[in-house]
Structure 1
C-alpha cells in the first residue's frame, strides 16, 4: 500500500496518449485514498488510477482540465456528492471492476453536466433490475454506457418508465435500498461512539494545520486516531515491561557472579 504523495505524482509516468490527450499514469500502487491531486497542477486531460485500493471516489481539488478518469479494478463502493464542483469538465468515467452495489449509489453522478461515457462492467450494481434504463434516465447526456451506445429508443423507454407512477415507485425503492446499504456499511465498518470521541479529541488537540490534515488522511483511510494511539501505548507498555524484565535478569546475573 502506497500513499499518494506529491512526490509520487511528480515521479509517475506522464505521456501523450493515443487520442493526443496529456495523461498521468498512477496504476498499480495499491493507493487507498485519492489525495494531494493539487500536485498535478491541473496539467492533465486524463488520469489513470487503475489497479489500486481506492474505496471512495473523492479527494479531488478543482481540476478544470480533467476530462477522463480511469479507475479500473479498485474497491470503490461510494461516490462523493458534488464531484461536479471539482471536476466540472469530466466527460469519461471508467469504473470497471469495482464494488458499487446499489443504483442509488450512482445518483451523485447525475450532477456532472458533461458526463458522456461511463463503464460499470463487473460491478454488482449491473445485475440490479432496470440498471441500464435507470442510468440513461439519470444521466441525460450519456452517450456510451458499458461500451454500448445509448440509443434514442432506450432514452425514450427510460423516460416513459421512470416518469410513470410505476417508475416513481421504482425510484423510491432504489433510494431506500441505497440508504439501507449505506447504513449497513456504516454499522459494519464505521467508528463506535468511543472512537468518534477519540476522533474529536485528536482534532481538538491538533496544534498545526499539518496535524489536522494528517488526522483527516487517517480517517479517510479508515483508521481511528484513538485506536492508533491505544496501539502505540500498548506497544510502549510492552516494550517497557520487556526492558524491566531484562534489567531484573541482568541484576540477578550480577548477584550470582555471572
Structure 2
C-alpha cells in the first residue's frame, strides 16, 4: 500500500494527550513514507492539502524503508515510526520538516553511525529514539549521536548528561575540526538501492538482498523479476518470507529459469 492523499483523508485524526493534532497511519502497511508519482498514487506533496494540518503523524507498524520526500510541513513536530524497516533518511527531510522535535525510530534497520548524520540538520530535535536498530550496537553510538545532535535532551528515553556531551567532544572534536576517529566514521555509510526507482535500484531497507544473492549469478531479466516480486509483496509477512528464502541461498519460484542460473 502506498501513501496517497485519499488514504490520508480517510484516516483518523485526533488530539493526542499532548494536545497535538495527530494523524493515525498505524499498521496500513505502508511501504515507504512517500508516494510514487504515477496515475495510481499521487505524489506525497498532495497530502499537504487536507483541511486540518497535523502536528504529529503516527507511522508505527508499517513497512516504510526510506523516510523522505515530504512536502514543506513546518507544523509537524513529531514523527512516530517504530517497527518499520527504515534504513535511510533522505538528506532533504530536515528542510521539509524544519520544526521536528520528537522522532521515534525504534525497531528499524539503520545500520551505520554515519547514516544518522542527517539528524544533525534538525535544529529543534530534542527527543530521539533509536533502540533496536543495528546502529545502537556500534561502539560510541551514544556519543556519536550527541556529537552530531547537540540539541537532543533525551536519547532512547534516557536523559542526556553534560558529562556525555563532554566525552563526545573529546572523542570527535568539533564540526570544523573533527578528530581522525570522527572522519573515519563519517566515511562509512550504508550502500542502498531502490526497488521502486526507475533505474532498477532499491530502497535501503532492501540492501541486504544483494549480499544474500552472493552465491548466485542472475541475468538482468532475472534481477528485474526479483525486484518486481519484492515490489509486489503486499504484506510484511510476504517480504519476510522472501528475505528468509534469500538468506538461505534460494530464490522464490518464478524468478529464474534453471538454465539461466550459475552457482559460483
TM-score where L is the length of structure 1: 0.69
- Kindly provide the CA deviation profile for residues 127-148 of structure 1, in whole angstroms up to 9, marking residues without a partner as x: 0000000110110111000000
CA deviation after TM superposition for structure 1 residue 176, in Å = 2.7
**CA distance in structure 2 between the aligned counterparts of 1:219 and 1:132, rounded to whole angstroms:** 26
Any unmatched runs of 5+ in structure 1? 200-217, 232-258
Partner of 1:65: 75
Pairing partner for 2:140 from 119, 125, 130: 130
Per-residue CA shift, 1:185-210, capped at 9, x if unaligned?
34xx6799xx73x89xxxxxxxxxxx
Return the structure number with greater relative CO, CA threshold 8 A, min gap 6: 2
Q: 2:5 aligns to what?
A: 6
**Which residue number corresponds to residue 26 of structure 1?**
25
Q: CA deviation at 1:26?
A: 0.1
Matched, 1:54 2:53: no
After TM superposition, give the deviation of residue 174 of structure 1 in Å: 1.3
Counterpart residue number, 2:186: 175
Matches within 5 A, 1:1-258: 2-35=1-34, 36=44, 37-40=47-50, 43-163=53-173, 168-178=179-189, 181-182=190-191, 185-186=192-193, 196=199
- Distance in 1, matches of 2:51 and 2:170, equals 44
Inter-partner Cα distance in structure 1 for 2:138 and 2:52:
36
Provide Cα deviations, 1:32-71, integer angstroms capped at 9, x if missing partner: 1223232446711100011111111102000010000000
How many residues matched? Answer: 198
Mapped to 1, the partners of 2:118 and 2:148 lie a distance apart of 10
- Please identify the structure whose Cα radius of gyration is greater: 1
CA shift in 2, pair 1:42/1:13, >3 Å = closer
Report the Cα distance in structure 1 between the residues aligned to 2:50 and 2:153, rounded to whole angstroms.
28
Which stretches of structure 1, 4 residues or longer, exceed 3 Å deviation after superposition?
39-42, 189-192, 218-222
Give the direction of change, closer, same or farther, for the CA distance of 1:6–1:220 in structure 2 (3 Å limit).
Answer: farther
